[in-house]
Structure 1
Amino acid sequence: MQTMTAKEVEALLNEGKAIDIIDVREVDEVAVGKIPGAINIPLGLIEFRMHELDKTKEYIMVCRSGGRSGSASQFLENYGYKVINMTGGMIAWEGKTEKILT
C-alpha cells in the first residue's frame, strides 16, 4: 500500500495540485472539520459507494489516525483502484480545515 504523510498532502494542496481526497470518518467526525475539498464516504459505506469512484484517478484516503483509511485503501486496491493512505490521519494534519454546514 502506498502511503503519504499529512505534510506531503498539505504540500500538494499548497502547490495548487488537483488531488482527490476521500475521508472515511463518520459524518459526525467530519462535521468538526475536514481537509478542504475532501469527499466523505464513511468506511462502512465504501463497499456500497465505490462505484462513485473513478479507477483512472488516484485517491488519497484519510481518517482520524490512519487505521480506517488503511483498511479502505487495502479494500479499494483489491478492486483495482489507485489509492494512497495518509499516515497519521487528521491527528497529524496541521493544514486548513473546513467545517460542514448542516
Structure 2
Amino acid sequence: MEFPMISYRELDQWLEQGGAFLLVDLREPFQYGRERIWGSINIPYEELEQRLDELPKDYTLVFYCDRGAKSMLACRDLGRMGYRCVDLAGGMLYYRGKFIDRRAPGAIE
C-alpha cells in the first residue's frame, strides 16, 4: 500500500491552514517531552496497536518519528486497516519548520 509523504514545508502549510488531520508523534515520551511539533499527540510506535481507538478514521493521520522509518511502517500498516495516513519525510531529524514546541508538557507560559 502506498501513502503520501510530505515535506516539513508542506506540513507547516497544513498547520497554518488547519483542517481535519491529526499529527501523531511516534517517538518515546522522553523525546516528545524535549521537543515536538506543535499540536501533535504522542503515541509511541510500540503502543500504536493497543491505542488505535485514539485515532479517528475520519481524519487524515500525519505520522512522524525520529528519522522517518517507524512513521513509514505506521502509515503502511494503518493504511491497510483503512486509515488515511501521511508520513512526514525525514521525521524530526529533518523538520526545520516554525512549529517546534520545546516547552515541557504542562509548563505554564
TM-score (norm 1): 0.90
**Higher alpha-carbon Rg:** 2
Runs of at least 4 residues of structure 1 off by over 4 A? none
2:88 alignment counterpart: 86
The match for 1:101 among 65, 84, 105 is 105
For structure 2, which runs of at least 5 residues remain unmatched after alignment? none
Distance 2:104 2:26 in 1: 15
After the TM superposition, which residues 33-48 of structure 1 pair with which residues of structure 2 at under 5 Å, given as runs?
33-48=35-50
Distance 2:90 2:37 in 1: 14
Q: Are 2:75 and 1:69 equivalent residues in the alignment?
A: no
**1:58-94 C-alpha deviation (Å, 9 max, x unpaired):** 0110111111111111111121111101111111111
For structure 1, which runs of at least 5 residues remain unmatched after alignment? none
The CA deviation at 1:53 is: 1.1
Distance 1:80 1:100 in 2: 34
Distance 1:30 1:68 in 2: 15
1:17 alignment counterpart: 18
Partner-residue secondary structure (3-state), 2:6: strand
2:57 alignment counterpart: 55
Q: Which amino acid aligns with 2:26?
A: V
How many pairs does the alignment contain?
Answer: 101
RMSD: 1.3
The CA deviation at 1:101 is: 2.5
TM-score (norm 2): 0.85
Partner-residue secondary structure (3-state), 1:9: helix
